[in-house]
Amino acid sequence: MAIKIEPTGKALGGLITGIDLSENVSSEDQEVIFSWWIKHMVLVFRNQTLQFEDLLRLRHIFGPAGKTANQLLGLGRKTYYQNEVPDDITIISNITDADGHPKGSLGSGEAFWHTDSSFTEEPISASLLHAVEVSDQGGQTSFLNMYMAYETLPEELRKVVDGAYSNHSKTHSSDGTPRQSYGEITDVSKAPGIRHPLVRLHPVTRKKCLFLGRRLNSFIFDYTVKESEELLDKIWSHSCDPKFIWEHEWAVGDLLVWDNRCTMHHRKPFPAHEKRLMHKSMTAGETVIPG
């Protein structure tokens, strides 16, 4: 069967069929997959049975090897990961062992809109997430088309974001859990983080898109905290319009690959008693080019 893609019909996303990713992917198919990823921003591969080594192999279709959030933050390996988990793999799960220790990150709560690892100088380019166990309820992941979010900005907000920079805070994970090493933040203008342009130029498409990272403890430089908060509320409200969104309903065996440079994503909460297990790999990114 030849490899095919069916667009979602929404603002982004495409379903790919006709390929078994547990086997070697030909150079021709790699080129096709990469071009579809650039065009559709999120790719879905159904019914894939993948091991850790497969995820580490497949990420090279989209770029060089990338590091986990903990590695990028200099926090090292998760202490609760079992020995067979490679350093470059992230486990996302609410499952605990017999003693109540977590086997993965993020639990069962909401993961707020965010860009993966934007709190680094070179945020990752591709995220690959494979579903091993999924909940019967909730847990859907939604994606935002940040090209469209930028292109449809009202003129008053376009004037704000063009040429502006914001702080991408390191202080919380995507579910809002504080990272203890950074302490409590009482002034968002002083939150530890990385300075990035609010508008970035995609290195492949050469198109402009909004680059917001995360809302919590964000701050637009050269404004007061009050002004920054008001502007960010307006920019985020515009960006999260349903017309820019596609939502994925997970099934066991799904592999999703998204372009972290021109999308944001969000996970709905799911019942804490239901088990969910995801394995993730990443590709390295590049310095953010101002748009």
- Tell me phi and psi for residue 253, to 5 degrees: 95, -10
- The share of the chain scoring above pLDDT 70, in percent, equals 98
CA 246, 247, 253, 257 dihedral sign is positive
Q: Report yes or no: 137 and 75 within 8 Å, Cβ to Cβ.
A: no
Q: Report yes or no: 145 and 244 within 8 Å, Cβ to Cβ.
A: yes
Q: pLDDT tens digit string along 129-173?
A: 999 999 999 999 999 999 999 999 999 999 999 999 999 998 888
Is residue 228 within a helix (H) or strand (E), and if so which, with residue range?
A: helix 225-239
Q: pLDDT tens digit string along 49-92?
A: 999 999 999 999 999 999 988 888 777 777 767 778 999 999 99
Residue 68: predicted pLDDT: 87
Residue 202: predicted pLDDT: 98
Closest listed residue to residue 144, CA positions, set 13, 289, 288: 13
Does the pLDDT value for residue 1 go beyond 70? no
Residue 156: predicted pLDDT: 96
What lies within 8 Å, CB to CB, of 117 at 6+ separation is 69, 72, 123, 124, 260, 282, 285
Structural domain boundaries of the chain?
4-282
Q: Report yes or no: 179 and 172 within 8 Å, Cβ to Cβ.
A: yes
Give domain 4-282's CATH superfamily: Clavaminate synthase-like (3.60.130.10)
Tell me what the mean pLDDT of segment 237-241 comes to: 98
Query: How many C-alpha atoms does 77 have within 13 Å on its Cβ side?
Result: 12
Does residue 246 come out as left (phi exceeding 0), alpha (psi in the -120 to 50 range) or beta?
beta
CB atoms within 10 A of CB 270: 22
What lies within 8 Å, CB to CB, of 203 at 6+ separation is 261, 286, 289
Q: What rounded mean pLDDT belongs to the chain?
A: 94
pLDDT bucket at 237, cuts 50 / 70 / 90: very high
Does pTM surpass 0.85?
yes
SS3 113: strand
Residue 76: predicted pLDDT: 73
Q: pLDDT tens digit string along 98-134?
A: 888 888 899 999 999 999 999 999 999 999 999 999 9
